[in-house]
Structures are given as C-alpha cells and as structure tokens.
Amino acid sequence: MLTERFYFFRNCSVPPSIEDGPTVVAATVNSRTLLSCDTIGLPRPQVRWEKDGRVIRQAGARYVMSRRGSLQLNDVQVNDSGTYRCVAENSAGSVSRDVRLLVHGTTYALSHSDMCSEL
C-alpha cells in the first residue's frame, strides 16, 4: 500500500523581492504612465510608494496601485517629476527600488509669423 505524506509549513516565509524594471521613465503631460514594482514574497509583501522621500497617499483616481505593487499615475503633470521609491515589506524582510520619473510638457512648433503676431 502506497502512503502519501504532505507537509505544510505554517510559518514559512520568503523575503520580498522586486522584479527588474525600468529605473528611468519618461512621460508627457496629461498622459498616463506606469512605474514598475512587481513584487513577490511569502507572505505577500505590503507595498508603499514614496516620492522624494514622502509617502504617497492613494486617494482618488490619480494614483492606482496594482495588486503586485506597480504604480499607475493618471493625468501626469510636470510637478510629478522626481524620484519614486517602491518599498516592499513582509515578516521576512524588506526591499526597495527607485524609479525616476521625467515629465515633459507638450512642445509646439511655431512659425515665424506666429511668433511675430505674439509681439
């Protein structure tokens, strides 16, 4: 008779890790962009985002965080430029990764007559 044994580890934990992704992201004003921070770990890591050292509060539709931790910014503005830090923590440890966001305004090409009419 074949006997099967199953082992369950109740207190097994794996430190969080963050998958590789871009460390510099460029976006245009009024666009939507994604700052990558896909995390894994056991238990599932708690993820928070900081911008220039300040915790981002996820209120409203401006910032949307995926289940695995990536951050989507909607209606990006020039003042969103800066260094963002993704921090993933669980009972086994913590890890972080920085992503720099560069937001550029819309560029307009003006003709010589357009510039002169503004004077």
Nearest by Cα to 103 from 25, 35, 43: 25
pTM, rounded to two decimals: 0.78
Mean pLDDT of all residues in 22-39: 97
**% of the chain exceeding 90 in pLDDT:** 71
Q: Considering the domain boundaries, does residue 39 fall inside one?
A: yes
Q: Considering the domain boundaries, does residue 53 fall inside one?
A: yes
C-alpha distances out from residue 108 to 26, 31, 81, Å: 18, 17, 21
Confidence of residue 107 (pLDDT cuts 50, 70, 90): low
Per-residue pLDDT, 71: 96
Q: Considering the domain boundaries, does residue 62 fall inside one?
A: yes
Mean pLDDT of all residues in 80-107: 94
As a whole number of angstroms, the distance between CA 15 and CA 20 comes to 16
Q: Considering the domain boundaries, does residue 12 fall inside one?
A: no
Domain boundaries, position 29: 19-98
Per-residue pLDDT, 88: 98
Q: Considering the domain boundaries, does residue 10 fall inside one?
A: no
Q: Considering the domain boundaries, does residue 8 fall inside one?
A: no
∠ CA 53-72-95, nearest 5°, is: 45
Structural domains in the chain (count): 1
pLDDT digits (tens, 9 = 90+) for 54-89: 999 876 688 999 999 999 999 999 999 999 999 999
Q: Considering the domain boundaries, does residue 69 fall inside one?
A: yes
Q: Considering the domain boundaries, does residue 90 fall inside one?
A: yes
The domain that contains 47 carries what CATH number? 2.60.40.10
